[in-house]
Structure 1
Amino acid sequence: MSERPDALRPAPEGYADWLAELKNRIHGAQQRATLAVNRELVLLYWQIGRDILARQAQQGWGAKVIERLAHDLRTAFPQMKGFSPRNLKYMRAFAEAWPDESFVQEVLAQLPWYHQLALLDKLPDPKTRHWYAAKAIEHNWSRNVLVMQIETRLRERTGTAVTNFDLSLPKLQSDLARESIKDPYRFDFLGLTDEAQERDIETALVQHVTDFLLELGAGFAFVGQQVLLDVGGDEFFIDLLFYHLKLRCYVVIEIKGGKFKPEHLGQLGFYLTAVDAQVKHPQDGPTIGLLLCKSKNKVVAEYALRDNARPLGIAEYKLLASLPEPLQTSLPSIEQIERELEGKQET
């Protein structure tokens, strides 16, 4: 009877842990190699773009030189992609947009080339472009997520909610908490109309929790929906409970279907007290409350928060996208995307 192949014999003690460690090393090496290749490619493209700019300025070469350069480079390097006239023009625009080579080397080279094109195409302002580039690096956004964040104007919505964090939290935590809150929140991915009720919105957010977490931003972890709190024998239910990994605290989110009213904060503050007493770990920070309403009077919201000792924020939500008409017609609906995914799963 033949012996069993070595691969089918029981692994020796400790082999599984060693194999897992080797896999992690290999994955790490693959990632570093990919990043290194990308870095060199981005720097190469920037240098080509810089040279095109310089020669056109100094020697008066016209736009046709790009057509000729594209032909000659593709002839010399037939296996390499990226030397089309269109991409060479992007290289020129890239170098023109980012003239500081050290910044390109130290910061921008961390982003893939197609991220760079998205920044160039959609953001004419250097300061705004810089902000989105930094966020893409910090949160490891894919190109599609980067484009989505740009198109939904993330920068304009970040840190703009009405809060009392500066009065109720320590300075460092206050700044981070304020930057973690947006206004307004965009829930157009739910496919609901403005007539949707609070519970409908809440249920839809849980059903689309991946999109919801993306809209909330980095650091939020979903804990539960309609979380039960037993206070003196009476039962209360939190709409949505999250934990923020950077702030190290729980975040209670309550949804109101109409206009903000000061009395809404009484209920939310009660929930924060209960979470701090029953759920929070001693090492966690103070629980934060976020009230999402369809609309608010900013002055009324500021007055309602002024003397409240609990860390609270008030922001609006938008169920319908306010996108330009041409863009609206080009975007697939949630139903179309889901049908497409179901079709792929069946094949």
Structure 2
Amino acid sequence: EKETRIESVDFQVGRTGRITPVANLTPVQLDGTTVSRVTLHNKAFIEELDARVGDVVRLHKSGGIIPEILRVVKEKRTGEEAPIVFPNRCPECKAELVEDGKIHRCPNPLCPAKAFQQLRHWASRRAMDVQGLGDKLIEQLLEKGLVKDAADLYRLGKEDLAGLERMGEKSAENLLAQLEASKGRGLERALYGLGIPQVGEALARTLARRFGTIEKLMEAGEEELEAVPDVGPITAAEIRRALADKRMRDLIRRLQAAGVSFEARQAQAAEQPLAGLTFVLTGELSRPRAEVKEELEALGAKVAGSVSRKTSYVVAGPGAGSKLAKARQLGVPVLDEAGLAALLAERGAAG
């Protein structure tokens, strides 16, 4: 733990419109890194902490990674500390904020801050993977009014890009080629790229496998959604609310008109020979672990991070440690890479 001081507070707007207060701190060394900013989460957290600008606070790293304020050192207050005033209006577009439980959101669909974050998320490697569409370029496209949302990206031509800073003819051609390639990433990537609250990579993949097309997903009721693994009542309601929104439906319609695929690329249920199996990967494998994980998931398997009695197989390479020991203790079958290849061949899943 270390002590430092809150110098000021910024209010950031996320891609869903969520307003997050961030404390700017007097820089301090903590577990090998310099920490100068830390999230204050929401208005309720600030009130519970009774934090003020100028306060001395005690920090630690949650899980050894994420800086977090533990408490305010109130005995060091001087009387000059100032209250942290949560805004009533969006810091970017000045729209009146709405409260959603502990969260404050900007409801304006055209808020510039939301647009930037949404475009950044859509183009990210794990979503549509549009290489070359970085922060500076997104800022320029928004400032010049060339795009307002993801669908507008697919209307860009060479002439639109020609006047942008550091955008030569070759760079423009490469970006347009990346955008064209992104159209075929499939429902799972597009669904994640839309930034629906509660829908991360894994759930986007699960929903794509379950429903196959965006149309079937949009038709699904909350009861049908709750039947999907890892979807509870809150997540089901969020998905329904997001996909019923007229602005979201219009965005999807325009993306489809531009040629973006909203059909699942993953094998459908009948073509998932590993459906119902749970794997754990450990040790050094001949391919990147993320690649093996993606291949297994595409064939219907679940890949977990820890071994339990529900684990079907542990795939172990050289240097496997505690996970291998746990598998042996629980009697979970252990495969090397050759054994995994044999299992895939046996189930008709060999590539």
Which TM-score tier does this pair reach, normalised by the shorter chain? under 0.3
Superposition TM-score, scaled by structure 2 size:
0.20
State the structure with more CA Rg.
1
User: Higher helix proportion, which one?
Assistant: 1
User: Higher strand proportion, which one?
Assistant: 2
Tell me: higher relative CO, structure 1 or 2? Use CA pairs within 8 A at least 6 residues apart: 1
